Structure 1
Amino acid sequence: MFEIFKKKKTEAVFAPVDGHFVALPEVADPVFAQKMMGEGFGIQPTSAEIYAPIQGTVTTIFQTKHAIGLTGRSGSEVLIHIGLDTVELNGEPFEVHVKEGQSVDEATLLVTADFEKVRAAGKAEVVLTLFTNGGESFDSLRTTELKQGDPLKK
């Protein structure tokens, strides 16, 4: 009855990949930059291994392997989107290491990406972490370099 007065639990959020932090408004795709897919952040990767940014369960693996959906322990719905317009690559540069229904945490390798192939195809290799059912903004985060597993929010 008094659900509206309960404080919403927030997930611990971790950097899914080594690289340079990118605020969503700076992402070179208007759908993401205007937050039509939700709040979140991007990372310009400096490594190929992409890990889970939250503790939860794998709910969706896109057939083209460019995106994975997760549901956090407190109900957050998170989309990991690898690159821009990479759906057009039909999964070629991505190797998925998890299965739907699998429990994950920040130490779980989700995908290995061949970013050389992504760049050769003329696609941007930014790794996006999007909270599709609401969440707080990461735009004011004052860090530039991230290591996979670095905590971003608790």
Structure 2
Amino acid sequence: MSFLSNLFHFHQSEDSADLTLYAPASGTLLPLSEVPDIVISEKIIGDGVAIMPESETIYAPCDGVIARLLSSKSAFSIRTALGLEVYVSFGIGSIELAGKGFSSEVKIGDTVKKGDPILQVNSAAIANKLKSTVISMIVVRSSGDIEKLTSASGSCVAANTPCVWVNLKHSDEKETTS
């Protein structure tokens, strides 16, 4: 097994996925089951990956349009050209800070490209006020006909490391399973 294979545990190539999401921050990839929030860890709103961040800028994990931006500036979602909604949230308990420690580079309706800066986090000002500083990136279950979602583990570099691959059900697959 190569060094990269040991460092990143990829389960799929970008070529076979309908959508590839890139790390919204540098850090360590974790399964959603390790996020200390039952809604996220039980994948109630969707599946994805978590990142224990080592940086204070959160970037767009894909191209699309900003569909949601919480007033706390701690979470946003991007609607992709495929109609999928990708929700990115910083920290557990960050909504209660009412925007203190966060700033946003975008507004709802803005078109973004993978790697565009979206949020700035002042970690020093808020770290002791949060239950966790983990970032969750979730493909919202109700936003598309998702067949399979695969996520990576290991270290990641913001906007450079592919970490989630989404495969959609295609019409020919639906017809054969009906």
Per the TM superposition, whether the score is higher than 0.5 is yes
Matches within 5 A, 1:73-152: 73-132=81-140, 133=142, 135=146, 136-138=148-150, 141=152, 143-149=153-159, 150-152=161-163
Provide the TM-score with structure 1 as the length reference: 0.86
Give, in whole Å, the separation in 1 of the partners of 2:70 and 2:49. Answer: 20
- 2:158 partner amino acid: Q
Contact 1:21-1:44 within 8 A present in 2 as well: yes
Count, aligned residues: 144
Q: Hey, which bits of structure 1, 4+ residues long, moved more than 3 A?
A: 134-139
Normalized per residue, the structure richer in helix is 2
2-side partners of 1:36 and 1:61: how far apart?
20
1:137 partner letter: L
Give the secondary-structure state (helix, strand or coil) at the position aligned to 1:12. strand
Q: TM-score, normalised by structure 2?
A: 0.75
Partners of 2:116 and 2:138 in 1: CA distance = 18
Structure holding more strand per residue: 2
Q: Percentage identity across aligned positions?
A: 26
Gaps of 5+ in 1: 1-8
- Aligned partner of 2:72 in structure 1 is 64
- What SS is found at the alignment partner of 1:106? coil
Q: Which has the larger radius of gyration?
A: 2
1:23 match: 31
1:30 is displaced (CA, Å) by 1.0
Matched position secondary structure for 2:149: coil
- For 1:106 and 1:122, how far apart are their aligned partners in 2? 28
Is the Cα contact below 8 Å between 1:118 and 1:124 reproduced in 2?
Answer: no
Q: CA deviation at 1:48?
A: 0.3
- Residue 65 of structure 1 aligns to a residue whose secondary structure is coil
SS in 1 for 2:99: coil
Q: Gaps spanning 5+ residues in structure 2: where?
A: 1-16, 167-178
Shift of 1:59: 1.0
Preserved CA contact (<8 Å) 2:62 2:114: yes
CA-atom RMSD, angstroms? 1.6
